[in-house]
Structure 1
Amino acid sequence: MGKPVRAGRGALPAELTSFVGRRRELAETRRLLAAGRMVTLTGFGGVGKTRLALHIAAEVRRTFPDGVWFVDLTALQDPELVASTIANTLELREASANPAADLAAYLEDQHLLLVLDNCEHLADACAILASKLLAAAPELKILATSRHVLGVEGEQILSVPPLSTPDDEVQAGDATHYDAVKLLLDRASAVSPDFEIADANRAAVVELCRRLDGVPLAIELAAVWLRTLSLAQILERLEDRFRLLSSAKRGSSGRQRALDATVAWSYDLCSPAEQLMWARLSVFSAGFDLEGAEQVCDGDGVTRDDVLNLVANLVNKSIVTRQQATAGTTAWYQMLETVRQYGAEQLGGPEEVQRLRTRHREHYRSLAAQFEAEGFGPHQADWFIRLRREHGNLRAALEFCLEDAGSAAVAFDIAAPLWNFWFAGFLREGDRYLVRALELAREPTHARARALWAASYLALFASDLERSARTLAECEDIVAGLDDDLLRARIKECRGHATFYRGDMAEAVALLEEALADHRAIGNALGEFNTLILLSAAGHFLGDPRVVEFSQQALEIAESHGAQSSRGYALWSVGIARYGEGDYGRATTALRESIEQFVPLHDLTGISFGVQALSWCSAFTSPDARSARLLGGSRAAWRTSGAKVGTTNARSAVDARAAEVVRGAIGPELYAEAFAQGASYSFDQVVALALGRDTDADTPEPAATRAPTPPAGTPGGLTRREREIALLLAEGLTNREIASRLVISQRTAETHVDHILAKLGLTSRQRVASWVAENLAR
């Protein structure tokens, strides 16, 4: 498959080669999708189920307002992760202990098509989840591919046949009326541009398509060899393979033997070194890069220097496909599952398989350590992109670790260093791997302590504060006997973070200051940065005057290390600090730049933080219908991200104040209409709205957006208390000082200040002094 492409909402892999034929199957699939809610395309491997599903999905995309989403389940082995995998594809970071329920709740009002590819090895899990989702979401439709029926109630089945093939009497000009011949001609022309069907080769073309029984993958593999062999030579070599398979696999169908023969024949045409490379590459899941191939496949007949040429040779033979590298990435290689499985069958006995899987595991153990060492630096964005691409291999390595208790501890060295990666997009999955490893490997080692800290951190973001505290306590017990100042600092940071979530800002700041001092003492820049971000957030809600200092220090650290994702969070903290000062213009600039940093990384939580803060700025500067839409859009963003941190008590209180200001300015009916509109936006629409790029004609402005005129005789429409506070603002008092002077809570003072700025249409506290001089001083 190619890189996912987007048109409106959704994600489908780009089709790298032309789609040929299947007119009847396309029409029938469209009919079944229109008539029912779940269609399963069945058939043996290589018959073209995935290509058919992708093509029909692209055709019907416009009929699904919330998009068409392709979920490849080939590399997934754990049935418990099916819901999480779908959620991540939908850019929904589920964060509860029940991802299936999260997914069902999210899809409840969505009108979309879900394409589940390669379900057969997870058939029960897919069937159970599909049933739940279809019951919960009346506008959801599912198109699945599987080698056998899934058994979902209401499931409609379309058995995908091989391509049509001609009989031996067909004329040369009529041969291309058959899909098998069309496909052969299309693929042969790609490798041999002068290839054509004429009377001289008609019989051989027809015979080849018949011998391959119209199986698309078999035809594609055979067509590649027309670059070097004639049709007669291909038929001769295939015939030898068919004779072997006919005696060895009498129980298999002719079509399956045709595919097996073509794959085996392609294997026979490879050199011994290429065959060895093919077999060894089968250990990778969902693809590999050159570095991985060099680390895992060299030795015993293949040197490290040989790997590049061997991979290139397999690409030329279409055994391996290559994806184009993009900026910041390396080339990525894949094998079709049928081809990969054949390679796996060519490995030696269990000892060789074990040796190869161990090398694969050790490569990803090393990769995790490298990410931990380099992840906070100039290649931070590249690392996140790389790890997303390696996701299938990380899963395979972890599953191998967890096959028995004896090797489970190795999982600590893969899952724990990746804590930041799990947080950025696979929270529940990373949490699950850590919990499974901790249950199996219980010895109180240093590696277990690191895993306990990572598990505590992820549980915190999953809003499981009790488990987070329990896990952190065990971590602290082990660390007491270790010489590890980094873990001690991280424990304090995590405890301060949890205290912040519980709403005790003063205690949180005290704990975080201790953690900050510890991180600085050991020179841990990432820990220092993370703690400064937390201090900025907690300090903001506490009214700590050092918030600007904390945020600027965080920004300086991120920029000095060239860390793109971290810079996004630093800009968010700068925006929050400016917002706290009442400088909404500079806050908006910083927050929008923060979102711009997160968009290419698909960091949905970071984007949601930015959208929420921008909705506050908008509400307190221009309380109109657009601000109401942005407040609703903030709700939509957090819903899509799945993270719970946007709804903590402190943030919810500001949401409520912002809503009150806008509602008071435009009236409850208009507010409710605009808020609901924003809450229904897609994630992309929310981002466009937050960045000021919402020019979509499909999102018209609600009527009557002008704020009511202030009552006559009250300057700026301010109440008596608000006029009193405006005078104090003009004196330069902070919110805390105003609260002390008037004997009110700081939160009440903040609310009054927000109302004053909103009513006067001012963007900073400093401008209030000028307004007071012109209006109230008289």
Structure 2
Amino acid sequence: MMPSGRPALPADPTAFVGRRRETADIRRTLERSRLVTLTGIAGVGKTRVALRAAESMRRAFADGVLFVELSSLSDPDRLAQVVARALEIPDQSVPDLDMLAEYLADKQLLLVLDTCEHLVESCSRLVGGLLTAARGLRVLATSRQPLGAPGEHCLVIRPMEVPAPETAGSVQDLARCESVALFLDRVGAVDPGFELTEQNAPVVGELCRRLDGIPLALELAAGRVRSMPVERILTLLDERFWAEEEDTCADDPRHRTMQAAIAWSHGLCTPAERLLWSGLSVFPARFDLAAAEAVCAQEGLPAHEVYPALDGLVAKSILVCAKGPDRTTYRMPDSLREYGAAQMPDHDRRRVLLARHRDHYAGLAEAASEVPPRDEQAEEWKRVREEWPNLRAALEFCATDPAETDDGVRLVITLTFLWIACGMGREGRHYMEWFVRVARLDEVTRVRLLLLLAYVMVAQGDLRTSRQTLDECADLVSRSDDPLSHIHLEKMRGTLAYAEGDLAAADAHLTEAIGRLRAGGSPDITVLAAMVELGITRLWLGRPDDAAEVLLECKRECEDSGQSWARSWADLGLSLVLRARGELPGALALAKEALRTQRRLHDASGASLCLELVAWLATGQEDPAWAARLLHASHGTWRQVRRPLYGSPHFLAEHARSEETLRRALAPAEYEEAAAEGGAMSMDEAIAHALGEPPGAPQAAPKERVTPLSPRELEVADLVADGLTNKEIAQRLVVGRRTIDTHVEHILAKLDFSSRSQIAAWAIGHREGG
């Protein structure tokens, strides 16, 4: 985990070879330019070099490094939303560029935007706006052409060094050449017994020269060594490669080399592998074997032959294989995906594959939307959330083809759990509003879509637009004889009244809706959510016993049906009830349990409310500095949500009371330091803090560390070891210079040291010793 708590950069599936000069150039250029774009031909390794440079600069950015892959994004208007989701910013109803600019305004962050060439104008506008608003932001982009943004500094990533003809007979000199080193490393993966000898050195050197040192071309050639000697590969290049190259049309001869290398590799594939290659081009991101079989099995490629063909494409470096603890996935590099798509000129054939792709991921969504046994719900929902690039491609296919809009609407409704419970309301609202405008829907389906849209708007705090949407929905329902439409409208009226603070109306609407919904059979997610809303409404109305009754009933039904998300909200409501009764230990246990589930699901509104609740419960019970950090961490997450679901003057008053109590318990400087530390926390860091977990390892229990230093002193010692001055450390940790001076004095005294160099040596040894 990076300091911000966000996931680490994508791991390299193979060893990183060479490129030291390019990595150093990027680091130096980013020191003086806030926007650096890496350009170069397809297959030259722009992404891998960018990731290597970003990883090496991680410590220079207090808020970490964020990688955003854009090759699967086709709609330029969604760019800001994709970046916002990568940052895991909770939903807001303000324009996305403004939202991003506000969020990043005080951050020190390196943003890596990968594969920008098809979104150049949008990337230029977005980056220009963000760099103007956020002085601590730097951007590293990869693109086949410059972005054209103000202040942009372009670095061309060129092919690897190729061996000079005079080194052909020297094994030692040849092995030091970058392109040869890469080729040998990739050959070693498919033929561990291969060695560079005086006999084959001239052939290897000539092969690397013929391929112009282009990494992807070298990897494609290396993949063939499993089935033929390197001499035969060079002979095939002589026979086929240059003829292919002459047929390609590109100004840069190295680009022609790359295209010819891909065509050559395609020609050496079996018919089944070529058919699968073109079929897999409909996947915008990673996929597994089940998805490949469901989408690509066809005439000439039955399902049982998909895996052998898939394995063959992996062996030939057409696909990158990533083995996880419980799942193996595959990914095709962009330039190879483009080539595969070009081999399928039949538009109808491609449309069939896109429909199969949509149907496969719709099936995964439908399975996850059904209530699974016990605690599997959160994991199933999380897995679907991780498939978002494929789901987005499926929705885009439906949105751009009038014949597919009905399926698109069904998929949007099926994914309700993503929009409501998994922090993806922004994406859901985009597609709901689109299909409301363009789809010709029957009245019942249109009502369902509008009600879902209104719910997401409430979650975003956009209450005015939500009311307008409900008014439109009410007009449709008044002409409908569908009883469920009437009941769900009643429920949403209760939800909106609750959010607006009209508690009496909320009580009436929710009570009516719950009664009618439960009369129709076993409770579904709509009933359970309504019960939570009703329970908290009754608590605010001063009826804690009535609140406890409905919330306990909701929890029992959640446990019986395996509804972990609704159960977490029931626990949150019950925690509020126990707090009102003065039963603080029980209240804290329930709040933390709810927070763990909200974290797994990425439910920003729920997690923010849980953080607030834990902070209130800790006030007066825990270390006041710890509680103050958490209170301001939770307040920071609320600022990102703006007006969260179930927001209330009651909550604001509780926050103010807790803050006043903590100010009295701490000295002014101590309180301000704790407040600054908490306000700088990410959502993940705040949750780890609330649960007593070490930052960056939210699922692990805290480890005992044998050291006389406090956690903050350890952090300061690490930064001293990194060569930062006290002033720079203060800026990094967002505290006063005097605070850092005091920490350093304490460290020297506790460790019986007399110099900063002794602190640095101790900190480095402490890291290595764990």
Q: Residue 169 of structure 1 aligns to a residue in which SS? A: helix
Which residue of structure 1 lines up, in the alignment, with residue 17 of structure 2? Answer: 20
- When residues 291 and 494 of structure 1 are mapped into structure 2, their CA distance, relative to the original with a 3 A threshold, is farther
The answer on whether the counterparts of 2:111 and 2:138 sit within 8 Å (CA) in structure 1 is: yes
The answer on whether the counterparts of 1:575 and 1:587 sit within 8 Å (CA) in structure 2 is: yes
Q: CA deviation at 1:314?
A: 2.3
Aligned mate of 1:493, from 487, 491, 494: 491
How does 1:286-297 map onto structure 2 within 5 Å? 286-297=285-296
Q: CA deviation at 1:566?
A: 3.4
Which residue of structure 1 lines up, in the alignment, with residue 702 of structure 2? Answer: none
In the alignment, the residues of structure 2 paired with residue 491 and residue 336 of structure 1 have an alpha-carbon distance, to the nearest angstrom, of: 47
Which residue of structure 2 lines up, in the alignment, with residue 426 of structure 1? Answer: 424
How does 1:596-607 map onto structure 2 within 5 Å? 596-607=596-607
Amino acid in the other structure paired with 1:110: K
Q: How many residues align?
A: 697
Q: For each residue in 1:164-196, what CA deviation from the matched residue of structure 2 results, as whole angstroms up to 9, or x when unmatched? A: 001221022101221100100111111111212
In the alignment, the residues of structure 1 paired with residue 666 and residue 485 of structure 2 have an alpha-carbon distance, to the nearest angstrom, of: 51
Aligned mate of 2:361, from 364, 367, 374: 364
In the alignment, the residues of structure 2 paired with residue 680 and residue 247 of structure 1 have an alpha-carbon distance, to the nearest angstrom, of: 57
For the pair 1:137 / 2:152, whether they are aligned, the reply is no
The answer on whether the counterparts of 2:490 and 2:509 sit within 8 Å (CA) in structure 1 is: yes
Which residue of structure 1 lines up, in the alignment, with residue 191 of structure 2? Answer: 192
Which residue of structure 2 lines up, in the alignment, with residue 636 of structure 1? Answer: 636
The answer on whether the counterparts of 1:364 and 1:414 sit within 8 Å (CA) in structure 2 is: no
In the alignment, the residues of structure 2 paired with residue 14 and residue 580 of structure 1 have an alpha-carbon distance, to the nearest angstrom, of: 48
Which residue of structure 2 lines up, in the alignment, with residue 615 of structure 1? Answer: 615
Aligned mate of 2:712, from 694, 697, 707: 697
For the pair 1:55 / 2:55, whether they are aligned, the reply is no
In the alignment, the residues of structure 2 paired with residue 190 and residue 18 of structure 1 have an alpha-carbon distance, to the nearest angstrom, of: 10
Higher mean alpha-carbon deviation, 384-393 vs 616-625, is at 616-625
Which residue of structure 1 lines up, in the alignment, with residue 107 of structure 2? Answer: 110
For the pair 1:163 / 2:160, whether they are aligned, the reply is yes
Higher mean alpha-carbon deviation, 629-638 vs 55-64, is at 629-638
Q: CA deviation at 1:214?
A: 0.5
How does 1:381-400 map onto structure 2 within 5 Å? 381-400=378-397
Q: CA deviation at 1:467?
A: 2.0
Which residue of structure 2 lines up, in the alignment, with residue 345 of structure 1? Answer: 342
- When residues 317 and 524 of structure 1 are mapped into structure 2, their CA distance, relative to the original with a 3 A threshold, is farther
- When residues 104 and 375 of structure 1 are mapped into structure 2, their CA distance, relative to the original with a 3 A threshold, is farther
In the alignment, the residues of structure 1 paired with residue 571 and residue 660 of structure 2 have an alpha-carbon distance, to the nearest angstrom, of: 27
The answer on whether the counterparts of 1:565 and 1:598 sit within 8 Å (CA) in structure 2 is: yes
Q: Residue 547 of structure 1 aligns to a residue in which SS? A: helix
- When residues 174 and 266 of structure 1 are mapped into structure 2, their CA distance, relative to the original with a 3 A threshold, is same
Alpha carbon RMSD of aligned pairs, Å? 2.5
Which residue of structure 1 lines up, in the alignment, with residue 124 of structure 2? Answer: 127
Q: For each residue in 1:205-224, what CA deviation from the matched residue of structure 2 results, as whole angstroms up to 9, or x when unmatched? A: 01110111100011111111
- Structure 2 unaligned segments of length 5 or more: list them: 695-709, 717-732, 737-770
Q: For each residue in 1:143-173, what CA deviation from the matched residue of structure 2 results, as whole angstroms up to 9, or x when unmatched? A: 1111100011111110000000012210221
The answer on whether the counterparts of 2:110 and 2:137 sit within 8 Å (CA) in structure 1 is: yes
Q: CA deviation at 1:378?
A: 4.6
Q: CA deviation at 1:675?
A: 2.7
The answer on whether the counterparts of 1:241 and 1:264 sit within 8 Å (CA) in structure 2 is: no
Q: Residue 300 of structure 2 aligns to a residue in which SS? A: coil
In the alignment, the residues of structure 2 paired with residue 305 and residue 222 of structure 1 have an alpha-carbon distance, to the nearest angstrom, of: 28
- When residues 119 and 564 of structure 1 are mapped into structure 2, their CA distance, relative to the original with a 3 A threshold, is same
Which residue of structure 1 lines up, in the alignment, with residue 662 of structure 2? Answer: 662
Q: Residue 402 of structure 1 aligns to a residue in which SS? A: helix
Higher mean alpha-carbon deviation, 318-327 vs 394-403, is at 318-327
Amino acid in the other structure paired with 1:553: E
Q: Residue 116 of structure 1 aligns to a residue in which SS? A: strand
In the alignment, the residues of structure 1 paired with residue 162 and residue 505 of structure 2 have an alpha-carbon distance, to the nearest angstrom, of: 76
The answer on whether the counterparts of 1:525 and 1:557 sit within 8 Å (CA) in structure 2 is: no
Which residue of structure 1 lines up, in the alignment, with residue 719 of structure 2? Answer: none
The answer on whether the counterparts of 1:385 and 1:601 sit within 8 Å (CA) in structure 2 is: yes
- When residues 325 and 670 of structure 1 are mapped into structure 2, their CA distance, relative to the original with a 3 A threshold, is closer
Which residue of structure 1 lines up, in the alignment, with residue 309 of structure 2? Answer: 310
- When residues 515 and 651 of structure 1 are mapped into structure 2, their CA distance, relative to the original with a 3 A threshold, is same
Q: Residue 91 of structure 1 aligns to a residue in which SS? A: coil
The answer on whether the counterparts of 1:91 and 1:640 sit within 8 Å (CA) in structure 2 is: no
Amino acid in the other structure paired with 1:69: L
For the pair 1:468 / 2:466, whether they are aligned, the reply is yes
- When residues 341 and 250 of structure 1 are mapped into structure 2, their CA distance, relative to the original with a 3 A threshold, is closer
In the alignment, the residues of structure 1 paired with residue 568 and residue 103 of structure 2 have an alpha-carbon distance, to the nearest angstrom, of: 27
- When residues 449 and 326 of structure 1 are mapped into structure 2, their CA distance, relative to the original with a 3 A threshold, is farther
In the alignment, the residues of structure 2 paired with residue 496 and residue 668 of structure 1 have an alpha-carbon distance, to the nearest angstrom, of: 43
Q: Residue 147 of structure 2 aligns to a residue in which SS? A: coil
Q: CA deviation at 1:569?
A: 2.4
The answer on whether the counterparts of 2:183 and 2:219 sit within 8 Å (CA) in structure 1 is: yes
Q: For each residue in 1:492-550, what CA deviation from the matched residue of structure 2 results, as whole angstroms up to 9, or x when unmatched? A: 22211111111111221221112221221222321222112212222222222222222
Percent of matched pairs sharing the same residue: 37
- When residues 282 and 661 of structure 1 are mapped into structure 2, their CA distance, relative to the original with a 3 A threshold, is same
Aligned mate of 1:354, from 351, 354, 369: 351
In the alignment, the residues of structure 1 paired with residue 537 and residue 389 of structure 2 have an alpha-carbon distance, to the nearest angstrom, of: 37
Amino acid in the other structure paired with 1:517: G
The answer on whether the counterparts of 1:94 and 1:643 sit within 8 Å (CA) in structure 2 is: no
The answer on whether the counterparts of 1:20 and 1:179 sit within 8 Å (CA) in structure 2 is: yes
Amino acid in the other structure paired with 1:430: G
Which residue of structure 1 lines up, in the alignment, with residue 318 of structure 2? Answer: 319
The answer on whether the counterparts of 1:290 and 1:308 sit within 8 Å (CA) in structure 2 is: yes
- When residues 519 and 324 of structure 1 are mapped into structure 2, their CA distance, relative to the original with a 3 A threshold, is farther
In the alignment, the residues of structure 2 paired with residue 19 and residue 12 of structure 1 have an alpha-carbon distance, to the nearest angstrom, of: 14
- When residues 642 and 21 of structure 1 are mapped into structure 2, their CA distance, relative to the original with a 3 A threshold, is farther
In the alignment, the residues of structure 1 paired with residue 160 and residue 643 of structure 2 have an alpha-carbon distance, to the nearest angstrom, of: 47
Q: CA deviation at 1:252?
A: 4.1
In the alignment, the residues of structure 1 paired with residue 552 and residue 325 of structure 2 have an alpha-carbon distance, to the nearest angstrom, of: 33
Which residue of structure 2 lines up, in the alignment, with residue 577 of structure 1? Answer: 577
Aligned mate of 1:379, from 368, 376, 379: 376
How does 1:164-563 map onto structure 2 within 5 Å? 164-170=161-167, 171-327=170-326, 330-374=327-371, 378-423=375-420, 424-480=422-478, 484-522=482-520, 523-544=522-543, 545-563=545-563
- When residues 86 and 375 of structure 1 are mapped into structure 2, their CA distance, relative to the original with a 3 A threshold, is farther
Higher relative contact order at CA 8 Å, sep ≥6: structure 1 or structure 2? 2
TM-score, normalising length from structure 1?
Answer: 0.85
Q: Residue 619 of structure 2 aligns to a residue in which SS? A: helix
Q: Residue 408 of structure 1 aligns to a residue in which SS? A: helix
Which residue of structure 2 lines up, in the alignment, with residue 95 of structure 1? Answer: 92
Q: Residue 81 of structure 2 aligns to a residue in which SS? A: helix
Q: CA deviation at 1:655?
A: 1.4
Amino acid in the other structure paired with 1:434: M
- When residues 652 and 204 of structure 1 are mapped into structure 2, their CA distance, relative to the original with a 3 A threshold, is same
For the pair 1:151 / 2:148, whether they are aligned, the reply is yes
Q: Residue 370 of structure 2 aligns to a residue in which SS? A: helix
Q: For each residue in 1:326-364, what CA deviation from the matched residue of structure 2 results, as whole angstroms up to 9, or x when unmatched? A: 45xx43221111111111111142221222222223333
Q: CA deviation at 1:114?
A: 0.7
Q: For each residue in 1:590-643, what CA deviation from the matched residue of structure 2 results, as whole angstroms up to 9, or x when unmatched? A: 111222223333333332121111111122545833332221111123345666
The answer on whether the counterparts of 2:248 and 2:259 sit within 8 Å (CA) in structure 1 is: no
Amino acid in the other structure paired with 2:712: A
- Structure 1 unaligned segments of length 5 or more: list them: 704-778
Amino acid in the other structure paired with 1:505: L
Which residue of structure 2 lines up, in the alignment, with residue 627 of structure 1? Answer: 627
The answer on whether the counterparts of 1:444 and 1:478 sit within 8 Å (CA) in structure 2 is: no
In the alignment, the residues of structure 2 paired with residue 594 and residue 663 of structure 1 have an alpha-carbon distance, to the nearest angstrom, of: 28
- When residues 564 and 134 of structure 1 are mapped into structure 2, their CA distance, relative to the original with a 3 A threshold, is same
Amino acid in the other structure paired with 1:451: L
Amino acid in the other structure paired with 2:430: R
In the alignment, the residues of structure 1 paired with residue 547 and residue 322 of structure 2 have an alpha-carbon distance, to the nearest angstrom, of: 46
The answer on whether the counterparts of 1:536 and 1:577 sit within 8 Å (CA) in structure 2 is: no
